[in-house]
Structure 1
Amino acid sequence: MAQSWRSRRTDPDARRAPPLDRAGLERAALRYVERYATTRAKLAAYLKRKLKERGWGGDDAAPVEELVAKLAGLGYVDDAGFAAARATGLTRRGYGLRRVAQSLKAAGIAEEDYAEAEAAARAQAWQAALVFARRRKFGPFASEMPDRTAREKALGAMLRAGHELAIARRILACEPGYVPELDQG
């Protein structure tokens, strides 16, 4: 007699989960928002992906947008709060305003929801550039004054990190050892 625990299932649909209904879709949404800080756009994309994977078992169309609006109304999804947290985290790690704005747009946050976070990132632009320069040992944090090629590479890195050209040039022009913490003018 063959041992059943050794045999493999040949039916690929045997383990497939049943199609989602309204309650299942709501459970999936709640599990997602309890586990991740998210935005309305990310939650909607997640639910659409789940519907594509499992299918829809309801008679009418899947209420994705209605469910996203409901969870946002309950405060489980807060785009402005997500934007503020993401902007604070990126500026603390040394990324510039342009990189922060790109990240917020990629997360699907509307302009009115990230305006306050963008203003806070703009106010911290100088400190964020210093953090980036310290981490990469550029400008005032370098051991010696770099040659032209190294300065151009450093400028490119700062621009890719989202810093403004004027700020990047001022920091890279600093002598090693002179940290312009308060000299922002």
Structure 2
Amino acid sequence: MQAKPKFKAPTEERLRRSALHYLERYATSETNLRRVLERKVLRACVALELDPADFSDMIESVVESCVRIGLVNDRTYAETKVAGLRRRGGSARKIEAQLAAKGVDRDMIETVLQDDTHTDEDAARVFARRRRLGPYRTTDKRAERRDKDLAAMCRAGFAFETARRIIDATDAAELED
């Protein structure tokens, strides 16, 4: 039987160490770091029967110091996330949704996506190649799987016309041109 975790009352130093430990492992946005620290404080407060609202100033102080010294930068985070998702075949809609979920500002998301050199068409080709959809399919059942391939592309956030162009291409070489 495992012993219950022993919580200590949150202090600014403990929160700062937790933030640094989290930032060593993950790139994140300012809002997401705040959420992570709030969850940590909430768990400790529930165990110790404290009021989590008493620690909100500490959380803000830690997040602001991380932003001030450059450990957290929403623009850099968004640019990195966009580049990685585009390489893996992420659509603009999917990227926008993921960045919004992490708390990146809508204006920042639009700016970063406008600066992105990759198009949804490029990302759709990468997605189709990775998932072996349409012309990248290795089996002879391509016609039977057409609707399912289109649905997969649309669920991934690609426009129907883009998905149709990719899936209905005669072969992979036609897409690469």
Verify: 1:62 aligned to 2:56, yes or no.
yes
Whichever structure has more helix as a proportion of its residues is: 2
SS in 2 for 1:38: coil
Indicate conservation of the 8 Å contact 1:22/1:62, yes or no. Answer: no
Q: Deviations over 1:11-47 (max 9, x none)?
A: x67x513211222222222222222211111111111
Aligned pairs (5 A) from 1:36-55: 36-55=26-45
SS in 2 for 1:30: helix
Q: Name stretches of at least 5 consecutive residues in structure 1 with no aligned partner.
A: 1-7
Q: Name stretches of at least 5 consecutive residues in structure 2 with no aligned partner.
A: none
Verify: 1:33 aligned to 2:23, yes or no.
yes
Name the stretch that deviates more: 64-73 or 100-109. Answer: 64-73
State the one-letter code of the partner of 2:150. L
Verify: 1:146 aligned to 2:146, yes or no.
no
Indicate conservation of the 8 Å contact 1:133/1:141, yes or no. Answer: yes
- How far apart in 1 are the matches of 2:172 and 2:75? 39
Q: Deviations over 1:78-100 (max 9, x none)?
A: 11111111111111111211111
State the one-letter code of the partner of 1:146. R
Indicate conservation of the 8 Å contact 1:44/1:65, yes or no. Answer: yes
Indicate conservation of the 8 Å contact 1:125/1:163, yes or no. Answer: yes
TM-score, structure 1 normalization: 0.79
Q: Which runs of 4+ in 1 moved over 6 A?
A: none
Match 2:7 to one of 1, 17, 20: 17
Question: Percent identity at matched positions?
Answer: 31
Indicate conservation of the 8 Å contact 1:96/1:161, yes or no. Answer: yes
Q: CA deviation at 1:104?
A: 0.7
Q: Deviations over 1:46-93 (max 9, x none)?
A: 111111122369xx5432123212211211001111111111111111
- How far apart in 2 are the matches of 1:27 and 1:133? 42
- How far apart in 2 are the matches of 1:142 and 1:96? 20
- How far apart in 1 are the matches of 2:63 and 2:18? 12
SS in 2 for 1:123: coil
Indicate conservation of the 8 Å contact 1:145/1:175, yes or no. Answer: no
Match 1:106 to one of 97, 101, 104: 101
